[in-house]
Every structure is written in C-alpha cells, then in structure tokens.
Structure 1
Amino acid sequence: MAGARQIIDAPVFTPLPYGLWDTIQQPSADGGHWQNGVTWQDRCPAGDTTYDECIAVTGTGSPPAPPAKTSNVEQTTRGATPFTVYAQFECSPVGLADAAATGSDALARVEQGQVETAFWTGSAGGRDVVFPHLAADAEVLDAQDIVLQPVASPVVTGADVAHALGALEQELADCYRGQGLIHVPRSALPTLAAWKLARLDETSGRLVTPAGNLIVAGTGYTGTGPDGAAPAAGTAWIYATGAAFGHRSDVYVTTVRDSLDRSSNTLRMQAERTYVIGFECCLLAAHIVLGVPTE
C-alpha cells in the first residue's frame, strides 16, 4: 500500500560498462538449437617461413635446399555448454499486467554479474557445469573427445602488474596472434589505471591495453586462481583468451499457470535468459600484485 505518498518510478538502472557481454562478439544464431550447446573448429596457426634456394642469397654461398614444409596449424574441435541466469520475484495477481516488465527489469539488474561469475568460475546452480570458463586447472572433454575446457596456463605469479601484463600479452601474441581479451576483476582496474596500462578507445568505447587487446572488467569476476582458490589480500588473478563469442536467448517470463501459489494467492514469477559463451585458442593466467607504482 502506498499510503499518502505519491507512487513514482524508481531510478533507471544502468549496467556498469566494460563488461563481458559488451566486449565479446555476438554472431547471429540460426534458430535456437545453440541452446543445447555449440561446437566449432578452432584453428590456431603457428606458421613458418621458407625460401627458394635458386634465388636466395646468404652472403656465404648458395643456401641448401629448404626443409620440407610441415603442418603448423593446430586444429581442435571445441565446444561450449549453455547456462541460464534467472531472477525470481513475487507479486499479486493484480500486478500481472506489469509482470513481464518487472521480470525483465529484475533480470537486467543481476544478469551481467551472474553471467560473468559463471564464466569465471564455471559454476551454475552450485555445480561446475559451465564450459569453457576462465579459472580452470583441468581439461574437460565430452564423450566425443571435444574439448569443452582447456587448462589455464599460469604465465607469472606474484609480479607487479606491468611485468605480469607484459608476460601475459606476449604469451597471448605467441598463441593467438590476433586481438584477444584480458579478463580482470574490477578490483584490478585502479591498478591498471595507475600504471597507465588501460586506456579508453574513443572509437569503440572499449578499454584496451597498450598492446591493443580488449580489457573485460567484469562486475562478477571473482579474481580467483586456476584452482579456484581466492588470492591473497592485495593480489588478484587475471586471464587472457583469444577472441570470445556468445549467444543469448530472449528474456522468458514464466506463465501465470506455472507461477500461481494458490495457498497465498501470490505469483512467484521468474524471468530468465540462457547463454552460451566460448573463446578461441588460448587460456592464460597471471597473478598480479595490486597497488600503485612506487617509483
């Protein structure tokens, strides 16, 4: 009951910028079959060089015949599994007309953080069922030997952020050779800013590193290590991946028939949305010390 006070609209909710969904690629999906999970062929080339012995010049005589060309593109079949974010609320049947809008608004306030936590930890509904994810120290294959989860390879531990980010980006360049993603918890952003390692690209509106990789600063990113352990105070884990992509469904709000609690004449409404997220080639980790430069 509102009493004597006027009913007004609440402030407009604005999600924080630089999150996961705003940074990853969002290819169009053909139908809804992706909600069973997706599979793709990952091609991570190393490449090599050769020469023509007839015209090559070494300065010390004719070069020998070049070595035979060999395979230098790693091809891996990878997969990603779906998970669902939901928000549940109660309302009177009198408010049914606003249920869909209320559900969408409630979900909008939580889904970014929940998606990012699931993608970092691999957990949904208290179970490790989200693949692939960031904090992982074991490979997971499905029944067809499709790679659902690569191992996060630590590059450096306990280093200042400039050293750690440099090592992480070099490994990413060696592995992927294209624009990748640097995943950091929000607690690490001031450290990156203090070291001048994060800048806003005014064209795209995204945060980038000095090397040009995109920074994902997730509100739900936990900062835990590949083994899932929380970092020591004053430190955090950050991760690097190749380009990432995602599909998500429309928001679904439960029907009255599914939601009515007749004992209390109350609607327990749920709004939910299904996601699947994957990334290419690399999964790298670095443990950084938080804080400003001392010199």
Structure 2
Amino acid sequence: MARQLIDLPAVFTTLPNGLWDTIQTPSPDGAHWQNGVTWVERCPTGDTTYDECLSVTGTGSPPEPPPKTPNVPQEFRGATPFTVIAEFQCSPVGLGEAQAVAQDALARVEQHQLENAFWTGLAADQTVVFPHLAADAEVLDGDVVLQTTASPVVTGADVATALGALEQELADCYKGQGLIHVPRSALPTLAAWKLARLDDSGRLVTPNNNVIVAGGGYPGTGPDGSAPADGTAWMYATGAAWGYRSNVDFTQVRDSLNRASNTLRMQAERTYLIGFECCHLAAHFALGVPTE
C-alpha cells in the first residue's frame, strides 16, 4: 500500500538576533534604490571651548581660546544592491502552488544568504556587495566611498579584552549605540564570559548596550577574507546599520521546460541593500570559556 502524501506540518522559524532583525528598516522612497544609493556621511568629532571672561584656571584667567574649527567630517558614501534567490523544479500544472513553495523556500534561506553576503561581500562568488564587513581595502566609485577598510583593534585576545577594545574604539568613533557583528559560533563564548544578555525588547546586547548581531551566515573570517585559526574568530563593529528590501518576485523560466520530466524552473527572489554609519572596526579573539 502506498504511503499517504501530506503537506509538511512543521512551521519554519528563523533564529532571532540576525542581521535583518537588528538593523533599521526604513521605507524606501520608490524602487530606485535597487540601482544603488549614495548619501552624505557625517561623523562628527565635536570639540569644546570656553568664554575667557567667565573662566578661571586656579592660577588666573586662561588665555584666549583658539579659533573654532570644523569638526564634522563629511564624505559621500554609497551602497550596492544584491539579490537572494531560491529555485526549484515544478510541474506546469501546479504553478499556483509552486509560488507558495518558492516563497517558503526563500524564507528558509534568505537570512543566511543575506548575512553571508554582507559579511563577505560576495554574490554569485563575485565581490560586488558594498559595503561589507570583511574588507581590508577601500573601494571608490568616483568620489563616492563604497567600501571602507575594517580596522583591527586587537588580535588573538580573550573575548573580554577583544570586546572591550572594540567597544572603546566604537565609542570614540560613533558615540552612540552601534552594532557588534559575531558568528553564531561565538555566542557560547560571549555567554560564558557574561558578555551578552537580552534587553527589555528582546535584543541581544553587550554590557555597554551595543546590539549584538548574531549571524548564522556570518563565517567569522578576517578583513582579508581568510579563515581564522581553529578556536578563534573575528567580530566587527559598525555604527547603526539600515537596509532596504524588495517584495518577493516570482518567475517561471518557461524556456527551461524539461520535456523528459515535464518540469519548469520556478524562482523566488528578493533584492537587498545594506548600509551602515561611520565606524568599521574588527577584532580577532579566542573562543572558549574563562579558565579562572
């Protein structure tokens, strides 16, 4: 007797604290962002001054303060789009149901593929995703900075030392709540060192309240793209990140009919674009629990 064919009863649930969960997702103004975007990046350093008539030093009045100078650097930055795709074969008779199947397939893989592209810069094995995390060279398009260099702040440290150095550099650079990007393999280490907790909104944060992005698609590679030594990983820090994504598009590749099996190719895809503010920092650290 033939076994009964059923619909899969299990419900797929994405893991929390991934990239799309933790970045800002403003509504784009139209669809032109899918050609790429440019913006003016402002990363102020600030300064202080005083009124010499109202100030004292304990040994008399201070000298005349120096002239005020610009302290808000500005540059053009840009980001490029990329597309996550899921494809399978379907019967021409069942094209209606195939859309639902394709959307489910895309939902199962898009977070992982999004995170991998944002970490590595790779789409279809080509470095075309800008900006991305693992980068050791600047990329320009005219006067627009598409890619900044990840600046290592420490290498080979324990995770507490590495995170501390990374967050201090982030505080000096951004001065607001930033993002700490880590591979999921690092979460047990962060937890063992009591360096990760859930805040009241359910986000994973550091002791300094920077948001932890734990990417299942994050490979933990260094700025030059190389795999870290066994028992180690890289993490990155950025300013606040934001992203756009399109609706899911469906295509039936009708000219791909396989007459032997009477099947067509069904594709579901979604286009993404990710950007981040100001800082781009990296730290290399050891995995494992504290020894004391």
State the TM-score, normalizing by the size of structure 1: 0.96
- Report the counterpart of residue 272 of structure 2 in structure 1: 275
Q: What is the rounded CA distance, in whole Å, between the counterparts of 1:284 and 1:4 in structure 2?
A: 55
% same residue = 76
Q: Once superposed, which parts of structure 1, at least 4 consecutive aligned residues long, lie more than 6 Å away?
A: none
Checking the alignment, whether the CA contact within 8 Å between 1:259 and 1:269 is kept in structure 2 is no
Letter in 1 for 2:229: A
- Report the counterpart of residue 179 of structure 2 in structure 1: 181
| Worse overlay, 13-22 or 93-102 | 93-102
Checking the alignment, whether the CA contact within 8 Å between 2:106 and 2:268 is kept in structure 1 is yes
Q: What is the rounded CA distance, in whole Å, between the counterparts of 1:104 and 1:258 in structure 2?
A: 21
Q: What is the rounded CA distance, in whole Å, between the counterparts of 1:140 and 1:194 in structure 2?
A: 38
**Does 2:56 match 1:77?**
no
Quote the offset at 1:256 in angstroms: 5.9
Quote the offset at 1:259 in angstroms: 5.5
Unaligned runs of 5+ in 1: none
Quote the offset at 1:261 in angstroms: 3.9
Quote the offset at 1:194 in angstroms: 0.4
Quote the offset at 1:10 in angstroms: 3.5
Q: What is the rounded CA distance, in whole Å, between the counterparts of 1:217 and 1:159 in structure 2?
A: 20
Question: What secondary structure is seen at the aligned counterpart in 1 of 2:213?
Answer: strand
Matches within 5 A, 1:213-292: 213-255=210-252, 257=254, 260-262=257-259, 264-292=261-289
Provide, for residues 203-261 of structure 1, a one-character-per-residue CA deviation record: whole Å limited to 9, x for no partner: x2110000010000000000000000000000000000000000000000103646544
Quote the offset at 1:196 in angstroms: 0.4
Quote the offset at 1:264 in angstroms: 3.9
Distance 1:68 1:120, change over 3 A: same
Provide, for residues 59-81 of structure 1, a one-character-per-residue CA deviation record: whole Å limited to 9, x for no partner: 11111100000111111110000
Checking the alignment, whether the CA contact within 8 Å between 1:224 and 1:231 is kept in structure 2 is yes
- Report the counterpart of residue 194 of structure 1 in structure 2: 192
Q: CA RMSD in A?
A: 1.3
Matches within 5 A, 1:93-132: 93-132=92-131
Provide, for residues 94-113 of structure 1, a one-character-per-residue CA deviation record: whole Å limited to 9, x for no partner: 22121111111000010000
Q: What is the rounded CA distance, in whole Å, between the counterparts of 1:4 and 1:225 in structure 2?
A: 50
Letter in 2 for 1:102: V
Q: What is the rounded CA distance, in whole Å, between the counterparts of 1:165 and 1:13 in structure 2?
A: 33
- The alignment of Structure 1 onto Structure 2 pairs a total of residues equal to 292
Unaligned runs of 5+ in 2: none
Letter in 2 for 1:244: A
| Worse overlay, 90-99 or 127-136 | 90-99
Quote the offset at 1:91 in angstroms: 1.1
**Does 2:152 match 1:154?**
yes
Checking the alignment, whether the CA contact within 8 Å between 2:254 and 2:264 is kept in structure 1 is no
Q: What is the rounded CA distance, in whole Å, between the counterparts of 2:255 and 2:191 in structure 1?
A: 49
Question: What secondary structure is seen at the aligned counterpart in 1 of 2:106?
Answer: helix
Q: What is the rounded CA distance, in whole Å, between the counterparts of 1:262 and 1:253 in structure 2?
A: 22
Q: What is the rounded CA distance, in whole Å, between the counterparts of 2:253 and 2:194 in structure 1?
A: 53
- Report the counterpart of residue 66 of structure 1 in structure 2: 65
State the TM-score, normalizing by the size of structure 2: 0.97
